[in-house]
Every structure is written in structure tokens, then in C-alpha cells.
A = this chain, B = another copy of it.
Amino acid sequence: MLFDDYNPLEKKQLQILDPDGKVVNKDLEPKIDDETLLKMYKIMRLSRMSDEKALQYQRQGRMLTFAPAMGQEAAQVGPMAASEEKDWLVQAFRETAALLYKGVTVEQNYLYWYGNERGSRYDDGVNALPVNVPIGSQFSHAAGIAYAARYKKTGAAAVAYIGDGGTSHGEFHEGVNFAGTNDLPVVFIIQNNHYAISTPRAAQTRAATLAQKAVAYGIPGIQVDGNDPLAMYVATSEALKRARNGEGPTLIEAVTYRMGPHTTSDDPTLYREDSEVEEWAKKDPIERFNKYLANKKLWNKDKDEALTKEYKKTIKNTFKKVEASEHPTVDEVFDFTYESLTPELKRQKEERLRDIEESEAK
């Protein structure tokens, strides 16, 4: 129904909350309980603030390369709020807000980008795969997870992310198609943030929308205002309903914008105009949602200031903790290659331990 009404081939895009925080599509406004609405907002703020702070640290030479999610928080928090704990998050690499919503801590996220694999061992019960660096390769993981979920009748679905650039990859095609033929419970979300590093969306494909790529797999596709958390919530809810009903996967294009650099190694002024960034700043997902909550009397300036203060503190303390954390040990870098060390690896590990001993003896 929703997917019939918002056919990307007819250039339709789903929006519920406009940039001013006004509900422009009353019929589709989801009934989300207050607690969840506040969680969504808070996670968006936490994600944004942790990105901003990490950027600062990075400029001070204290943080390593990372990929900020700034600007894309709604596209991540909406779908996570629409899904259940048992559902799986299969991320690309820019899904800070989605991870935080799912139960990954800022500490874990920082630790990972700080260069320690320990940060990508999310707690048991957090159904999320680690950061996926090879572009496009994660969609078939989501299909496999969904296959197992259906096979084991857990009722869970997978929610998987990819970027606009990722849709050009062969593995995007294979993953969605595989899920399609098997009618698997997956929601595929493209975060079209208009760039793949320096390469604009238009250079990735001649298709007018990325949502229309769904046609290739015989599944529904929808283009959504990706800076509107309510629209993202609604589209994902509908897609999850399909998924749980055995109707198969759905493809959602979240139209959003990467407000920061690609990663901290990137200089976006090389390839995009400030004016473009400013235009998108006006459509910021957090401000928009703030106004919505204020209109609903769920939030106000005082609360916001208190939250800012609290998060500033915890983020700072968290980063300090990460900076003080033990670097990966010899055990850690060797012992997870296989379930148990092979004879050759045992020798190599001993060699490494000997080297350390010798250099410490000096």
C-alpha cells in the first residue's frame, strides 16, 4: 500500500515531517510512544555530539581516521526505532546513530575507530555485525542472517545499510537479488548522502532514483526523506511488516546529506560548494525532530541544555577511557585467527613475545 502510493518511478518521495518540524502528512504520522520518541532524539544527539567531539580529537591528533554520520542520524534512528531487539543491524561503516540505538556504546564505537578491534566486539545480545569496510559486500550477509532467522523461526528480520556509492557494486545486486528470490526478511536501506567520497551521486548511476533499482529484483522500492525520522520510521515499519509476513525484502532510499567529511582524511571543499552544505543544514534532522518534540510538549530548551551538558561530560570521559585503554595484546592479535592456534602460529606468536621481551630488556 505505502509502497504503491510512493512509487519512485512516479518521482514520489515520502515525507511526514518537513524541515520546520511540521507534520505535513498527518495520515501517515506514526503512533510512537513518548519514551521511544525521546530515545530517538537522544540517540541522534549523542551520535552527533560524539562525532563532533571525535572530529575535534582527530584534529588534535588524538583520534584516528573515522567516518562521521553527521546529518544522517534520522535515516539511522528511524529504522532502528521501527525494528525490534531481535532484529539484526547490518551496517556499512557510517552508522554511528544506528549502532548507538542498537545498544553499542560510544566507548565501543570510539575504541574501534581508535584502532582497536575490541571496539567491534559488540556485547552479546546486540544483534549487529561489525563495521564493513569493503563497499557493497554486506548485503548478502544480511540475506544470510535473514535466511537463518526464518529457518530457525525466530521472527527476526535484518536491516541493512549501504551508501549511494555502494549501489554500483556488484555485491549490492547479488545481495538484494538473493534475498528477493528467497523472499527473505530483509530491509535494505540506501543512505543516499549525495557523495561517495568526492564522487557525486549522478556519477554512480544513470537511474533517476536509487529506489527504482528495486524494480530489478521484483521488490518494492521507496524514496524517503532521509532527514525525516518519522518517514524513515514508517517506511521501515511497513517493510518490516512485509518481511515478517514472508513477503520478502524491500529497498528504501533515504535521501540525506553527509554534513561532514567522508572521513577525517577527506577534504570536502575540494569537490563541493559551501552553499550546498548550507542548504542542507536547513534540513537538519535533529533540529527538525527537536521542533516536533517541542510541539508535542515532550521536549524543551532546558531539557536540551541539560542533555548537552550530560553528553559533553560522558563523551569526554569516554574518550579519556579509550585513550587510556590497553592496546591490543599479542594474544589478541594472534588468538582470533582460528578457534585455536595452529602449530605455525604458535611459533610465530612465541617469536613475537620473544621480540617484545628482548626489546623491553634493552
**A residues within 8 Å of B by Cβ?**
9, 168-174, 177, 180-181, 183, 203-208, 212-213, 215-219, 248
Return A37 CB to nearest CB of chain B, in Å: 36
Instruction: Give the docked Cα–Cα distance between A172 and B169 (Å).
Output: 10
Q: CB within 8 A of A205: which of B172, B180, B206, B212?
A: B180
Instruction: Give the docked Cα–Cα distance between A172 and B176 (Å).
Output: 14
Return A307 CB to nearest CB of chain B, in Å: 42
Q: CB within 8 A of A181: which of B172, B183, B203, B218?
A: B203
| 9 other A-B residue contacts (CB within 8 Å) besides A172-B173, A208-B218, A212-B215 | A170-B170, A177-B205, A181-B204, A205-B218, A206-B218, A207-B216, A207-B218, A212-B216, A216-B216
- The residue in A171, A204, A215 that gathers the most chain B C-beta atoms within 10 A of its C-beta is A215
Return A178 CB to nearest CB of chain B, in Å: 8
By beta carbon, the residue of chain B nearest A175 is: B170
Instruction: Give the docked Cα–Cα distance between A208 and B9 (Å).
Output: 17
Q: Which 4 A-B pairs have the closest CB atoms?
A: A170-B170, A173-B173, A206-B218, A216-B216
By beta carbon, the residue of chain B nearest A183 is: B206
Instruction: Give the docked Cα–Cα distance between A218 and B205 (Å).
Output: 8
Q: CB within 8 A of A207: which of B170, B206, B215?
A: B215
Instruction: Give the docked Cα–Cα distance between A248 and B207 (Å).
Output: 12
Return A173 CB to nearest CB of chain B, in Å: 3
13 A-B pairs within 8 Å (CB atoms) are namely A9-B215, A169-B173, A170-B170, A170-B173, A180-B205, A180-B206, A205-B217, A206-B218, A206-B248, A207-B215, A212-B215, A212-B218, A215-B216
Instruction: Give the docked Cα–Cα distance between A215 and B213 (Å).
Output: 6
Q: Which residues from chain B contact A170 at a C-beta distance below 8 Å?
A: 169-174
Instruction: Give the docked Cα–Cα distance between A65 and B177 (Å).
Output: 31
Return A8 CB to nearest CB of chain B, in Å: 9
Q: Which residues from chain B contact A212 at a C-beta distance below 8 Å?
A: 215-216, 218
Known contacts A170-B174, A174-B170; A207 and B217 CB within 8 A of each other: yes
CB <8 Å contact, A181 and B206:
yes
Return A192 CB to nearest CB of chain B, in Å: 14
Q: Which residues from chain B contact A203 at a C-beta distance below 8 Å?
A: 181
Return A188 CB to nearest CB of chain B, in Å: 13
Return A29 CB to nearest CB of chain B, in Å: 31
Return A196 CB to nearest CB of chain B, in Å: 12
Return A156 CB to nearest CB of chain B, in Å: 21
Instruction: Give the docked Cα–Cα distance between A352 and B52 (Å).
Output: 66
Instruction: Give the docked Cα–Cα distance between A208 and B180 (Å).
Output: 12
Instruction: Give the docked Cα–Cα distance between A181 and B199 (Å).
Output: 12
- The residue in A172, A173, A183, A213 that gathers the most chain B C-beta atoms within 10 A of its C-beta is A173
Q: Which residues from chain B contact A213 at a C-beta distance below 8 Å?
A: 215-216
Return A336 CB to nearest CB of chain B, in Å: 29
Return A199 CB to nearest CB of chain B, in Å: 10
Q: Which residues from chain B contact A172 at a C-beta distance below 8 Å?
A: 170, 173
Q: Which residues from chain B contact A171 at a C-beta distance below 8 Å?
A: 170
Instruction: Give the docked Cα–Cα distance between A205 and B172 (Å).
Output: 14
